[in-house]
């Protein structure tokens, strides 16, 4: 997905938010924000949002010297998700359509986002999202593709959400490889976060090698690219991975929640909709 001009205010917001995660020093936050403002005029046409995301968070690391500003937030989110895992797992066990319920839980997990806007109960909110009709619903194709698959590549998104990814992975019969970011960026899942989330018990964890908050292929390592090419099914979680891969020419299933009007418009859905969309999957 290309960068829309309407994304620009959000890049500045991300810079402010990242800064506030790291420090109370307004001068330091201003240095972060000023740096991001300077990047905007130089964005190359065709860049995707995770590319500027990568630059923003590299800049945050450079200015603050902190390698993983979201460390604490991620730990909290993983703990939080672990608390609701048993109940949601039970919900799948008693469901008429286990795979659909598990997929919806994995999509809904996307609301676990670095402890902000916590004026809602996560468990309640996730149940609301599970009850909600999918804004784009290619579940039948998804089910079909998984039933024939001998290998599944699962592109991870946020820490915390990762705990609920496990619920979906447990419903998939084929071996799953769970691809995480190469280094900490934003609140995205790294290798350690995936292990803490319990993913190692159900999937092989690999690093895509990217330092962007989205799977930008030209920034990924060869092992990942080989897998990305060969996997029977690729499941892409979250907005950042969608933004990086929405124009790709291989088959892929995007599972995400449209969290802003820009991406909702790009997908032709409403802001807040949950999405299970196949790209190049024959639909």
The nearer residue to its own copies, 38 or 72, going by C-beta atoms, is 38
Residue 262 is a binding residue for its own copies (CB under 8 A)? no
Q: What whole-number distance in Å separates Cα of residue 215 and Cα of residue 209?
A: 9
Alpha carbons 193 and 153: distance in angstroms, whole number: 18
Extract the tokens encoding 264. 């909702």
- Shortest Cβ 69–its own copies spacing (Å): 17
- Considering only residues 38 through 77, tell me which ones interact with its own copies, judged by CB under 8 A: 38, 40-41
Where do runs of H (alpha helix) occur along the chain? 8-22, 26-39, 49-64, 71-93, 98-108, 122-131, 139-148, 161-169, 191-196, 222-230, 238-245, 261-267
Establish if 12 lies at the interface with its own copies (CB under 8 A).
Answer: yes
Work out how close the CB of 272 gets to its own copies at its nearest, in angstroms, rounded to a whole number: 16
- Applying CB under 8 A, which part among 34-42, 93-101, 139-147, 226-234 lies near its own copies? 34-42
CA-to-CA dists, residue 128 to 95, 108, 122, angstroms: 16, 9, 10
Nearer to its own copies by Cβ, of 6 and 270: the residue is: 6
Q: How far is it, in rounded angstroms, from Cα 277 to Cα 273?
A: 12
270 binds its own copies, rule: CB under 8 A: no
37 sits near its own copies (criterion: CB under 8 A): yes
Question: 217: which 2 tokens?
Answer: 């292929």
Residue 255: strand, helix, or coil: strand
Contact between 13 and its own copies per CB under 8 A: yes
Q: Quick one: 6 or 140, whose CB is closer to its own copies?
A: 6
The least CB distance from residue 53 to its own copies, in Å, is: 15
Stretch that binds its own copies, among 2-10, 49-57, 78-86, 126-134 (CB under 8 A): 2-10
C-alpha distances (whole Å) from 69 to each of 10, 110, 218 are: 19, 20, 25
Q: Which is nearer to its own copies, 36 or 231 (CB)?
A: 36
User: In this structure, what are the phi and psi dihedrals at residue 63, rounded to the nearest 5 degrees?
Assistant: -70, -40
Listed in sequence order, the residues at least 6 apart from 176 whose beta carbon sits closer than 8 Å to its beta carbon are 152, 153, 154, 169, 202, 203, 204
By C-beta, is 40 or 183 nearer to its own copies? 40
Least spacing, CB of residue 42 vs its own copies, in Å: 9
Cα-based distances in Å from 14 to 3, 53, 181, 204: 15, 8, 19, 31
Please tell me whether residue 29 binds its own copies under the rule CB under 8 A.
yes
Segment interacting with its own copies (CB under 8 A) among 11-19, 50-58, 65-73, 274-282 = 11-19
Q: Which stretch binds its own copies (CB under 8 A): 22-30, 119-127, 150-158, 221-229?
A: 22-30
Interaction of residue 223 with its own copies, rule CB under 8 A:
no
Q: Is 150 in the site for its own copies (CB under 8 A)?
A: no
Residues at the site binding its own copies, with contacts judged by CB under 8 A: 5-6, 8-10, 12-13, 16, 19, 26, 29-30, 33-34, 37-38, 40-41
């Amino acid at each position: 997905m290309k960068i829309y001009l309407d994304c620009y205010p959000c890049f500045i917001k991300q810079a402010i938010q990242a800064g506030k995660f790291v420090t109370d020093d307004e001068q330091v936050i201003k240095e972060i924000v000023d740096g991001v403002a300077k990047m905007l005029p130089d964005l190359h046409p065709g860049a995707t949002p995770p590319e500027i995301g990568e630059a923003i968070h590299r800049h945050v690391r450079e200015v603050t010297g902190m390698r993983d500003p979201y460390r604490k937030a991620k730990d909290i989110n993983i703990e939080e998700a672990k608390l609701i895992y048993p109940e949601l797992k039970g919900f799948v066990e008693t469901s008429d359509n286990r795979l659909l319920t598990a997929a919806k839980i994995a999509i809904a997990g996307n609301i676990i986002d670095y402890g902000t806007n916590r004026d809602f109960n996560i468990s309640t909110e996730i149940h609301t999202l599970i009850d909600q009709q999918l804004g784009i619903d290619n579940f039948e194709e998804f089910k079909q593709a998984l039933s024939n698959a001998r290998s599944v590549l699962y592109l991870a998104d946020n820490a915390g959400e990762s705990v609920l990814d496990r619920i979906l992975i447990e419903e998939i019969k084929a071996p799953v490889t769970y691809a995480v970011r190469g280094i900490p960026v934003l609140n995205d899942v790294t290798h350690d976060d995936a292990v803490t989330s319990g993913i190692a018990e159900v999937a092989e964890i690999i690093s895509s090698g990217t330092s962007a908050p989205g799977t930008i292929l030209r920034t990924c390592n060869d092992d990942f690219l080989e897998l990305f090419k060969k996997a029977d099914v690729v499941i892409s979680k979250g907005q950042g991975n969608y933004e990086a891969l929405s124009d790709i020419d291989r088959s892929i299933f995007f599972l995400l929640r449209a969290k802003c009007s820009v991406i909702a418009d790009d997908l032709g859905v409403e802001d807040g909709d949950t999405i299970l969309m196949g790209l190049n999957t024959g639909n």
